[in-house]
Structures are given as structure tokens and as C-alpha cells.
Amino acid sequence: METVNLTDSQKKARRGRNIALGAVLLGLVVLFYVVTLVKFSSGMAG
């Protein structure tokens, strides 16, 4: 089977992109969670 061997710089770049993407996804989860809390609390106050 033919495979592609990544160079060290390609591996490092891919790892950096994966970490950044993971951080963005985690940030979105937190963002939607807190928006939901804020919307619910303001809805109950109103």
C-alpha cells in the first residue's frame, strides 16, 4: 500500500491546526452553553 510520509514540519503544522480547531470547537461549546444560560435567565426575569 502506498503511503505518504509527512515531514517533521508538516506534522508540526498539522498538530498546531488540530489544537487550534479543538480550541475553537471547545470555545463554541462554552459560548452556546453560556448564551443559553443568559437567554434563559433573562427570559425568567422578564
Residues near other proteins (CB under 8 A)? 2, 4, 6-7, 9-10, 12-14, 16-17, 19-20, 31, 34-35, 38, 42
Measured between alpha carbons, how far is 46 from 40 in angstroms, rounded to an integer?
10
**Cβ closest to other proteins, residue 20 vs residue 26:** 20
Distance from C-alpha of 33 to C-alpha of 20, rounded to nearest angstrom: 20
Least distance to other proteins from the beta carbon of 28, Å? 8
Q: Name the minimum Å distance from CB 8 to other proteins.
A: 10
Question: What is the Rg, in whole angstroms, of the alpha carbon atoms belonging to the chain?
Answer: 20
Where do we find the cell 480547531? 21
